């Protein structure tokens, strides 16, 4: 396995919209393994392929305390949303910046696993936040894009100073 380079703002490649994965081959499986290794080493709880300059619809997540429950989602899509929660978010692509973001409290996500099987997962709380955050990356959206113009400007200024 290989640790990958994580893109950070203001890198414009983070704004690239990811393409669907048509075939889950060995290259996709290897990318998922490398992304998990990168995420754990960072350390983080989620990573989208966009963040490692691979513009395909693939995300890895592990919100467990023990970091032993990896979730790999190929071509994920949120099919249901309910409720609203505000959660303080950070991002491996926006190091050192944290902000409160409103997102759905409960979601259902449809995706393929690494064997190509179609799955559905109901998620709430931190897992729901993490999935929404990572799927935003696949659309070229970073969590700062959810903030007001003033808060976003302050966060970007802080990032530039760091």
CATH of 12-161, one of 3.90.45.10, 3.40.50.11900, 3.90.1150.10, 1.10.10.60: 3.90.45.10
* Active site positions, annotated: 134
d(CA 110, CA 92): 24
Using CA atoms of 23, 19, 133, 126 in order, give the dihedral in degrees to the nearest 10. Answer: -10
So what's the pLDDT on residue 156? 84
pTM of the predicted structure, to 2 decimals: 0.95
Give the pLDDT confidence score for residue 159 in this predicted structure: 83
Residue 160, pLDDT > 90, answer no
Per domain, the residue ranges of the chain are: 12-161
Task: Tell me the average pLDDT across 123-131.
Answer: 97
Per-residue DSSP letter, 45 = S
Q: What percent of the chain has pLDDT over 70?
A: 99
- In the block, tokens 């290897």 appear at 30
Q: Over the stretch 27-61, which tens digit does the pLDDT of each residue have?
A: 999 999 999 999 999 999 999 999 999 999 999 99
């Amino acid at each position: 396995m290989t640790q990958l380079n994580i893109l950070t703002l203001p890198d414009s490649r983070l704004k690239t919209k990811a393409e669907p994965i048509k075939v889950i081959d060995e290259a996709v499986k290897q990318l998922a393994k490398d992304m998990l290794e990168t995420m754990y080493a960072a350390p983080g709880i989620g990573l989208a392929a966009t963040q490692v300059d691979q513009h395909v619809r693939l995300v890895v997540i592990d919100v467990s305390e023990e970091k032993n429950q990896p979730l790999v989602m190929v071509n994920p899509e949120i099919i249901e949303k309910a409720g609203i929660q505000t959660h303080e978010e950070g991002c491996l692509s926006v190091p050192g910046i944290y902000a409160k973001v409103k997102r759905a409290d409960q979601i259902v996500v449809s995706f393929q696993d690494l064997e190509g099987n179609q799955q559905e997962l109901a998620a709430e709380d931190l897992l729901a936040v993490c999935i929404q955050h990572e799927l935003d990356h696949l659309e070229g959206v970073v969590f700062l894009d959810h903030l007001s113009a003033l808060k976003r400007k302050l966060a970007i200024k802080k990032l530039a100073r760091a």
